[in-house]
Structure 1
Amino acid sequence: MKFAITDVYLFWWPVTVRMPDPEKAGKIVEQSFEAQFEALNEDQAHEIDAAFRNLESEEERRGHQHDVLRRVTKDWRGVLGADDKDQPFTADAFDLCLKQGWFRAGMYEAYRQAMAAEEQGDGPTAKN
């Protein structure tokens, strides 16, 4: 695959959420889905960091502490709602998930891996 220059680069990446098993005390269960991320360039990342640093109160910072995830996450697939049907990606659904520490940890780790170009999965590695 040849390198292509683009203003906006969107890609799908696997996300693994490790959380307490609801059935087995003291055990962890892994749940997976895919998120569509937008790669931020260096200027965009610095802009988000600067905006956060300029917030004046702790309350404002709490309200904006996960803005980077809100900015880079564009969609998801493989996420089920309470009715066991596909849950469409919406800002409200995403914010509800962000309230869980294990969800945030999985999302931050997935984005970090993607931006560090750490390939995932057991499939063949592309070396073009």
Structure 2
Amino acid sequence: MKFTLAKTVRYWWPVTVRMPDPQNPGKIAEQQLKVLFEPKGRDAAIASQEALSKLDTPKERADHEHSELKAVVKGWDDVLDEEGTSVPFSEEMLGAALQMSWFRTGVYSAYADSLSGQEARLGN
């Protein structure tokens, strides 16, 4: 395959969310979804890291991290509500999901993996 130099790159990547299992106390349940990422360029990523280093409070850092994920997450698939109905992607729904630490951790991990040039690991 030849390299394609595109102005905007978007790609689907598998995400594994490891969260407390509501059915089994003390156990972890793994749930999978797919996320559509649009990564930032190098200069924007460096600027973001520099901005993060200047923030003082945990709230400021958390807000910055949320805005960074909102900037690179452009869609999702395989997300259901409690009744098993598909949840369409929106900034509002992404914001709600980002309130859960296990969702943030899973998405951050998948995004970092996708940028490393390695194929997705089995189960992630």
SS, match of residue 65 in structure 1: helix
Equivalenced residues, count: 122
Other-structure match for 1:98? 98
TM-align CA RMSD: 1.8
- 1:68 is displaced (CA, Å) by 1.9
Other-structure match for 1:120? 120
SS, match of residue 66 in structure 1: helix
Q: What letter matches 1:79 in structure 2?
A: V
Q: What letter matches 2:45 in structure 1?
A: A
Using the size of structure 2 for normalisation, the TM-score is 0.87
Q: Does 1:70 align with 2:105?
A: no
Using the size of structure 1 for normalisation, the TM-score is 0.85
* C-alpha distance 15-59 of structure 1, shift in aligned 2 (>3 A): closer
- 1:116 is displaced (CA, Å) by 0.4
Deviation by residue 1:107-126 (Cα, 9 ceiling, x = unmatched): 0110011000221256xxxx
Deviation by residue 1:22-51 (Cα, 9 ceiling, x = unmatched): 111111110001000012221110122233
Other-structure match for 2:9? 9
Q: For 1:75 and 1:55, locate their aligned partners in 2 and report how far apart those are by CA, in whole Å.
A: 28
Deviation by residue 1:41-71 (Cα, 9 ceiling, x = unmatched): 2111012223333446554333223222111
Gaps of 5+ in 1: 123-128
Q: What letter matches 1:2 in structure 2?
A: K
Other-structure match for 1:61? 61
* C-alpha distance 39-63 of structure 1, shift in aligned 2 (>3 A): closer
Runs of 4+ in 1 over 6 A off after TM superposition: none
Other-structure match for 1:109? 109
Other-structure match for 1:126? none
Q: How does 1:16-31 map to 2 (within 5 A)?
A: 16-31=16-31
Which structure has the larger Rg over C-alpha atoms?
A: 1
Q: What letter matches 2:33 in structure 1?
A: F
Deviation by residue 1:69-89 (Cα, 9 ceiling, x = unmatched): 111100000001233211011
Other-structure match for 1:125? none
